[in-house]
Amino acid sequence: MAQIAAIIGGGVIGGGWAARFLLAGWDVRVFDPDPEAERKIGEVLANARRSLPGLSDVAMPAEGKLSFHETMSEAVDGAIYIQESVPERLELKQKVYQTLQAHCAPDAVIGSSTSGFKPSELQGCASRPEQIVVTHPFNPVYLLPLVELVTTEANAPEVVKQAKDVLQEIGMYPLHLKREIDAHIADRFLEAVWREALWLINDGITTTEEIDNAIRYGFGLRWAQMGLFETYRVAGGEAGMRHFIAQFGPCLKWPWTKLMDVPDLTDELIDAIAGQSDAQSGHHSIRELERIRDNNLVAILRGLKAQGWGAGALLKARDKQIDPIPAQLDDVADLSKPILTVERAVPLDWTDYNGHMNEVRYLQAFGDATDRFMMMVGCDGDYIQSTGSYFTAETHIRHVDEVHAGATIRVETLCILGEGKKMHLFHQMFEGDRLLATGEHMLIHVSLETRKSSMPGPVVAERLARAADAHANLPRPEGLGAAVGKR
């Protein structure tokens, strides 16, 4: 039975939370008095469905159920986690908590999306202050993993642990601040950059577009994978951080910034900023900009994932946590059927100019299926280091039907031959019951020491033969052994 999360406030942030929980398999109950809330959350959820699943190279849990409720008391019924995302007015938030705590489970965590208020302020009028924590996310909540978890001494260790466990379960990274401060950590950095940007525009130095270009073409790319201090450590060269501080520390006393002040937001300054922003990206609707943003974030995150670095390392760990496919042949429930070797969503960056999956990605999916089958029969990293591996000698792919980004594909693998030095596999790719493509692969076992064909080790040979024997009586699939243009 799915766990239940309640979302109180369904704006951009609340909708993002709803999508994050839903796509992690939770049932989500929403309260928002806005008559347009269902439409708005539906649009956010549509963006999440096309982008978030593609960050995983394995199948995500089945999507939970979404429901909308007339009252907060209905929304929190059965919820073990409650996320409050109402407007940033302290008296409103405190009133919401009083209503929530009159109806919710005493052991449910109540997290606030507040970007500025301290948890002690939120807990001020609560009947159970220990239940309330700050869980401040970043937009889009369904893609960006960071959430600032801010607690006080009123929060018992078990409440903090429960909050962390829930956030990690839905694929987020809880950065736990044990001492509270206005605006937490990340927004204080953003505020500093924002203040400086306002002065640069106010003084006629630059424009909104030039500031954005300075970030996205320069230090923003470094920050995305190394943050601030690790970036500067590298900048210090072989001598590291001490050398960097010695070299650039004196600059802190120079009049480079106006961070201790902020320009008056006069009509003239607001008009200048709004006009420059319209000229920069006004030709796109907000929904178009959201999709462009999501496309770019997925590409960056998947690039970091390939390197196992920064937020990409979190994604790799998440895949291991939710991967439903057995790692060993002995764990396959029914060996007399084709073996599931890949189940995943088609990422945004796997599509081409025709809007469907690029033909290169079919090969990648089949290659991943081969790798998983090799692991199942014992040809894993340790085996490859000590004994040898299988090299692909020949591949034949049939493209049967198209598939688009966000679709869930699975690959089922038949072992046609597994004896001597040869491994002959036939993969079938499906979306639901619809056949999309087949991939036929002949592989040869090779000694990595001599770089010549060799016999596999006894464990691999036995498992491979067992798989081939189990599949020998299965119907031969269409396309097996066919040459290009022939049936």
HEC string of 105-164 equals CCCCEEEECCCCCCHHHHCCCCCCHHHEEEEEECCCCCCCCEEEEECCCCCCHHHHHHHH
Q: Are residues 103 and 164 in the same domain?
A: yes
pLDDT at 286: 82
User: For the whole model, what pTM was predicted?
Assistant: 0.87
Helix (H, G, I), strand (E, B) or coil at 421: coil
Q: Are residues 47 and 82 in the same domain?
A: yes
Is 302 within a domain?
Answer: no
Is 379 within a domain?
Answer: yes
Is 295 within a domain?
Answer: no
**Domain final residue pick, 125, 151, 177:** 177
pLDDT at 487: 47
Contact (CB, 8 A) for 348 and 295: yes
Task: Domain count for the chain, please give it.
Answer: 3
Q: Which residues of the chain have pLDDT under 70?
A: 252, 483-487
pLDDT at 269: 85
Is 353 within a domain?
Answer: yes
Is 383 within a domain?
Answer: yes
CATH code assigned at 90: 3.40.50.720
Q: Are residues 229 and 337 in the same domain?
A: no
Strand pairing class (146-150; 173-177): parallel
Is 476 within a domain?
Answer: no
Q: Are residues 38 and 66 in the same domain?
A: yes
Is 481 within a domain?
Answer: no
Q: Are residues 270 and 239 in the same domain?
A: yes
Q: Are residues 12 and 100 in the same domain?
A: yes
Tokens encoding 68: 């909308």
Separation CA 78–CA 337 (nearest Å): 40
CATH code assigned at 259: 1.10.1040.10
Q: Are residues 124 and 40 in the same domain?
A: yes
Tokens encoding 465: 């033969």
Separation CA 2–CA 401 (nearest Å): 34
Burial (CB count within 10 angstroms: exposed 0-12, middle 13-18, buried 19+), residue 222: middle
Contact (CB, 8 A) for 258 and 192: no
Q: Are residues 173 and 190 in the same domain?
A: no
Q: Which domain holds residue 105?
A: 4-177
pLDDT at 485: 55
Q: Are residues 417 and 467 in the same domain?
A: yes
Amino acid letter for position 213: N
